[in-house]
């Protein structure tokens, strides 16, 4: 019995086999109508911080109200010492986004976010239909905790689908400098000849990593139309080349990082008070790049018991400047008292009470004029008072010399 040979089909050259499409890193094409509609649906162009003076300082001069705050599509840096209010400011910014039914992604690089801070978020979004508030907040807040710099680079350079699946309006990276200093510590200010090859490689690699990270953050913020907030600590910087003393600056620096930051805010404490200073806004440095301790117009604030921030306004025009909390005016009193209440206001001395230096007062307070007269009389001279003194009939004026 003959075996049937297998049939081999040969395709003609006119119909070549289809190839799988090659992977492309180019952005997908989008029509102009879709781009305009996506901009209209995006909502506000900034994420407010809850402090009116700070939001207006970060926005442009002629910007509308919805552009005040941390700009979407940009990277902002908040730096300052421990306990100055960096995380509290980031928490309030996230709270403002949740109030607008927007989502927030939070990445912890050092200390985990305290549970008591999250308890204050229960009042950020109240339910009108009686449903539990936790069901409304938990889907809008995603929290991640990373322990190494490699995890941060993996999340930012190659973001997974679950990181930005909810289309967040803000991405907060808290205490980023901690992980960077662990892998690439700062070297002491010494001569390059005394450094080893490993130390030189780590010093150069640190700035290369920061440049790649800030570039990826800007790309991530622009593609997903969200504001990126990065909180960092402080570091001392020696300025021996310029002859100046040491200064305190941001924990992360470098030309690559500086070029990628859209705005920079410093938080610091002045005894019991806390202040915020805007050092960079709209991509321009308001203060010099070299830290010299200048923050220009500082914004005073306080942290309340529930973790929210309230602004303090200081009236510098008053004779007795006092700080007041920026709050809405109290309701008017319905019934006034029949008898007027006299309030004693402590003011500066009036103009009449202040002594005028031009007035002729007792110039001989220390008895110097008497000593001058004795000295002149010893030389045989008379003073101007003796010359102008009239002589009586029984008294003859002394001869003048």
Q: What is the pLDDT of residue 246?
A: 76
pLDDT the model gives residue 174: 92
Bigger pLDDT: 109 or 399? Answer: 109
Domain coverage including residue 247: 42-124+132-325
Asked, for residue 336, whether it belongs to a domain, the answer is no
Does residue 91 have a pLDDT over 50?
Answer: yes
Task: Round to the nearest angstrom and report the end-to-end CA distance of the chain.
Answer: 166
Which tops the pLDDT comparison, 298 or 197? 298
**Residue 84 within any structural domain of the chain:** yes
pLDDT at 93: 92
Instruction: Indicate whether 294 belongs to any domain.
Output: yes
Backbone dihedral angles phi then psi of residue 145, each to the nearest 5 degrees: -125, 120
Quick check: 347 pLDDT over 60? no
Report the range of poorest mean pLDDT among 124-128, 169-173, 291-295: 124-128
Residue 101 falls inside a structural domain: yes
Work out the mean pLDDT of the chain and round it to a whole number.
Answer: 74
Report the SS3 class of residue 71: strand
> pLDDT for 264-280, tens place per residue?
999 988 777 889 989 89
| Of residues 297 and 56, more confidently modeled | 56
- The answer as to whether 117 is a domain residue is yes
d(CA 95, CA 83): 20
CATH number at residue 208: 3.40.50.300
User: What average pLDDT does this structure show over 287-307?
Assistant: 75
Question: pTM higher than 0.85 for the full model?
Answer: no
Q: So what's the pLDDT on residue 125? A: 45
Give the closest residue to 314 by CA, choosing from 53, 79, 93.
53
8 within some domain: no
Residue 365: inside a domain, yes or no? Answer: no
Look at 119 and 346; give whichever has higher pLDDT. 119
Q: Residues 176, 229: contact at Cβ < 8 Å?
A: no
| Confidence label for 343 from pLDDT (cuts 50, 70 and 90) | very low
Q: How many domains does the chain have?
A: 1
Q: Residue 136: which pLDDT band, with cuts at 50, 70 and 90?
A: very low
Whether residue 127 has pLDDT greater than 60: no
d(CA 75, CA 98): 19
Report yes or no on 377 lying in a domain: no
Q: Please write the tens of the pLDDT for every residue from 164-220.
A: 888 899 999 999 999 998 888 876 655 666 677 777 777 778 888 999 999 999 999
Write down the pLDDT at residue 5: 62
Question: Which residues are within 8 A (CB) of 127 and not within 5 positions of it... i.e. 6 or more apart?
Answer: 133, 136
Backbone angles phi, psi at 268, to 5 degrees: -150, 170
Q: Is the pLDDT of residue 281 over 80?
A: yes
Which pLDDT tens digit goes with each residue over 39-72?
666 567 889 998 988 988 888 776 666 678 899 9
CA-based nearest residue to 221, from 24, 71, 63: 71
Of the listed ranges 44-58, 61-75, 146-160, 348-362, the one predicted with least confidence: 348-362
């Amino acid at each position: 019995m003959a075996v049937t040979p297998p049939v081999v089909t040969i395709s003609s050259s006119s119909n070549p086999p289809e190839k799988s499409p090659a992977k492309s890193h180019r952005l997908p094409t989008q029509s102009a109508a879709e781009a305009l509609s996506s901009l209209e649906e995006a909502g506000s162009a900034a994420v407010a911080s809850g402090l009116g003076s700070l939001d207006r300082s970060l926005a442009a001069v002629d910007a509308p109200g919805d552009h005040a705050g941390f700009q979407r599509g940009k990277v902002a840096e908040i730096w300052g010492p421990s306990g100055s209010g960096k995380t509290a400011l980031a928490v309030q910014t996230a709270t403002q986004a949740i109030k607008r039914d927007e989502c927030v992604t939070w990445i912890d690089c050092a200390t985990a976010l305290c549970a008591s801070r999250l308890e204050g978020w229960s009042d950020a979004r109240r339910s009108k239909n009686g449903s539990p508030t936790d069901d409304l907040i938990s889907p809008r807040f995603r929290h991640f905790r990373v322990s190494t710099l490699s995890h941060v680079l993996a999340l930012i350079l190659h973001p997974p689908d679950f990181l930005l699946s909810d289309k967040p309006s803000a991405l907060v990276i808290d205490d980023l400098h901690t992980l960077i200093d662990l892998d690439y510590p700062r070297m002491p200010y010494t001569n390059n000849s005394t450094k080893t090859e490993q130390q030189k490689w780590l010093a150069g690699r640190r700035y290369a990593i920061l440049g790649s990270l800030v570039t990826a953050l800007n790309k991530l913020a622009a593609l997903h139309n969200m504001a990126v907030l990065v909180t960092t600590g402080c570091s001392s910087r020696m300025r021996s080349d310029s002859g100046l003393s040491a200064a305190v600056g941001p924990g992360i620096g470098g030309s690559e990082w500086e070029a990628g930051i859209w705005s920079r805010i410093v938080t610091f404490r002045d005894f019991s008070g806390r202040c915020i200073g805007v050092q960079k806004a709209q991509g321009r440095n308001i203060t010099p790049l070299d830290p010299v301790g200048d923050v220009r117009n500082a914004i005073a604030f306080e942290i309340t018991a529930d973790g929210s921030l309230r602004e303090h306004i200081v009236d510098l025009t008053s004779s007795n400047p006092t700080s007041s909390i920026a709050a809405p005016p109290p309701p008017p009193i319905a019934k006034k008292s029949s008898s007027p209440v006299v309030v004693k206001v402590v003011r500066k001395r009036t103009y009449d009470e202040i002594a005028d230096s031009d007035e002729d007062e007792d110039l001989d307070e220390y008895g110097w004029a008497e000593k001058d007269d004795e000295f002149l009389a010893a030389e045989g001279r008379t003073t101007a008072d003796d010359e102008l003194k009239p002589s009586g009939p029984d008294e003859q004026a002394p001869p003048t010399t």
